[in-house]
Chains A and B, each alone.
Chain A
Amino acid sequence: MSAPVPLTTDPGRVASATPPAPGRSRRLSDRGLAVAFTSPALLLLLAMSVFPLLWALYLSFTDYSATRGGAAHFVGFGNYTAILTSAQVHQRALTTLIYVVGAVTLQTVLGFAIAYLISRRTHGRGLLTTLFLVPMMLSPVVVGLFWRFMLDAQFGVINSMLGSLGLGQVEWLTRQRTALVSLIVVDTWQWTPFIMLIALAGLTAVPKYLYEAASIDRASEWFRFRTITLPLVWPLLLIAVLFRAIEAFRLFDLVYILTSGGPGVSTETLSFHVYKVAFLGFNTGTASAYGILMVLVVIVLTQLYLRYLNKLKEG
């Protein structure tokens, strides 16, 4: 950082690369450069992310409706109390909770198991990993559509396979209970590779001398797993789990495509309900308050995520 620096790009001045002096003005030009380089990106974020959220915050205190138009009347915290006390919202929150916890738990267990099995292979690990990653790269639209076809009660391949095994048919997407299960299964199918990928990264990073030392001590496999593998992979795994939890909480497209919230409201998550309030009910003010509350949840989760990320980076 002590390098003497010419002040301008002017070729005449460059040649003369004057030694000491320019401390102050050099820092200035660095700062200028930093501002010039970061501000366009920050401006775009301000315009497209921060400003809309502030607008939503404003709307959340009004009774504005995007279709009715007209002036927005200030209603104080009316929208917020309406949402927080609504039984409908409580039900959606419960659905979302079941979905998030169910899907993320399944993904974590399965993803870690697959990663563990792959990490014990000597041959074909690259090929296996690549194959397992395919579902994750697909668009939720493709995933949702395709599972909808496969889970179809009449000509879906899943029921057809159940039938040839002599088992009964299941109305996957048209029964209240099973629809939510189907949603969890499909999300698990798509995102298990995500956990697997990150767990595998953690597993391959465990130094092998630890295992060697443990096997000299004749430690049992389970003991090694519990005292070496798990503690070393856990921090990274936790990052992956939190990341998935945030994503699952804000998930919209898969619900929209797979079940559209139905049957009834059995698979309506919070983000799907927001959509209905905003775009089908046209209560923009209420929907904004709803959205802001969701943003608050996301912010809490994100803070948790970033804190662990920070810990991981420093540790």
Chain B
Amino acid sequence: MAVSVDEAVSAGPARGRPPAARRPGGRGRSVLEVALLTVLAVVMLFPVLWMIETSIKENRDVYAIPAEFFGFTVTMDHFKDVFVAPDGGRSALSVAFLNSVLVAGASTVLATVLGVPAAWAYSRFALKAKKDQLFFILSTRFMPPVVVVIPIFLMYRQVGLIDSKLGLILIYAAYNVPFTIWMMKGFVDEVPAEYEDAAMLDGYTRLQAFRKFTLPLLVPGIAATAVFALIFSWNEFVFAIFLTSSDSVRTAPPAIAGLIGGTTVDWGLVAAASVVFALPVLVFAYLVRRHLVAGVTLGAVRR
């Protein structure tokens, strides 16, 4: 399967427009198609644009009826409120963002450290019931979080991991390990095993051959995989809301969701916090756009 966004761009002109375009009426149809695509693109992007607009509007413009699309006063107050508390100190949201960075980062590192060697082993060795093992690994990822969280909650309460960053890091790592293994196995499969065989002929052990010859070739794949794991952990909400409660531990998604708890909702602040929260994801997703198909199907579908 040809897969990436880049490939979609580079495919030559011949493929994109079958001869139909040259038939009479083909031109009108082409215009219609472009128009249709434009409308769809506007519909898909409007909520995102509206969110960005809301985040830079003054409060009275946010609630204006009818809605104001242009010509409002631009303000950065909401973004300031995201990071700075009214009393001048650090806001609860900024603490939550820091927690998110820590939890997502640490769980990604853990998942990568555990997942990459496992992926290599699954790719290279004839293990017992390998296919079953791999399918089992992937299916753990499909368990409904809201079901898993019930026993995890009880388990964490027993061992004192409730409301701790370590608890979140562990469960996120466990959720990312299946993805890392499946995604990385694809990358390892692409590196010929002969490289290692040749290195071993030269006297390296299997482990050394992996470290010196295969691992360097895997670095781009590891980076892409880690970015996806980072995005998954960053966006995760269900475990975060049930396993943490205090402001000092809470990650950004439950903290942002908490903004709508009260009687009045400061939608400007919600929008600004959402923008700050979503921006890194979009940047990272753009960096790994070539691997998006594999990434979003948990490494199951690839070229």
Contacts and interface: CB of A to CB of B under 8 A. Distances in A.
A271 B144 contact: yes
A246 B298 CA distance: 13
A103 interface: no
B72 interface: no
A17 B146 CA distance: 55
Contact of B1 (A55, A140, A202): A202
Contacts of A15: 203
Contact of B48 (A31, A134, A154, A215): A134
A49 B150 contact: no
B213 interface: no
A211 B200 CA distance: 48
B44 A38 contact: no
Contacts of B289: 130, 133
Contacts of B48: 134-135, 138
Interface in B13-72: 13-20, 33-34, 36-37, 40-41, 44-45, 47-48, 50-51, 54, 62-67
Interface residues of A, number: 120
A236 B11 CA distance: 20
B44 A294 contact: no
Contacts of B66: 160, 163-164
Nearest to B253: A141
A223 B37 CA distance: 23
A5 B144 contact: no
Interface in A169-209: 189, 192-194, 197-198, 200-202, 204-205, 208
Interface centre among A1, A120, A128, A201 (most CB of B within 10 A): A201
B278 A295 contact: no
B143 interface: yes
Interface string B282-298: 10011001001100110
Nearest to A247: B142
B144 A295 contact: yes
Contact of B125 (A34, A157, A189, A252): A34
B155 interface: yes
Interface stretch (A39-47, A73-81, A82-90): A39-47
Interface centre among A121, A142, A239, A295 (most CB of B within 10 A): A142
A299 B150 contact: no
B11 A45 contact: no
A198 B297 contact: yes
Given A135-B47, A201-B293, A306-B139, A56 B147 contact: yes
Contact of A145 (B148, B235, B260): B260
A153 to B, nearest CB: 11
A293 to B, nearest CB: 9
Given A136-B296, A160-B65, A204-B11, A146 B40 contact: no
B118 interface: yes
A309 B1 CA distance: 13
B17 A131 contact: no
A148 B5 CA distance: 31
29 contacts: A1-B197, A31-B125, A40-B114, A40-B118, A42-B137, A45-B174, A49-B140, A51-B155, A56-B147, A66-B153, A129-B5, A129-B8, A139-B237, A139-B281, A145-B274, A149-B54, A149-B270, A149-B271, A154-B65, A197-B292, A201-B1, A201-B301, A236-B301, A240-B301, A243-B300, A252-B146, A256-B237, A288-B151, A302-B142
Given A1-B197, A5-B205, A38-B118, 10 more contacts: A30-B125, A66-B157, A125-B16, A126-B6, A137-B282, A146-B47, A157-B67, A294-B144, A298-B143, A306-B138
Top 7 closest pairs, chain A to chain B, by CB? A126-B9, A48-B174, A291-B147, A250-B144, A139-B235, A52-B151, A37-B121
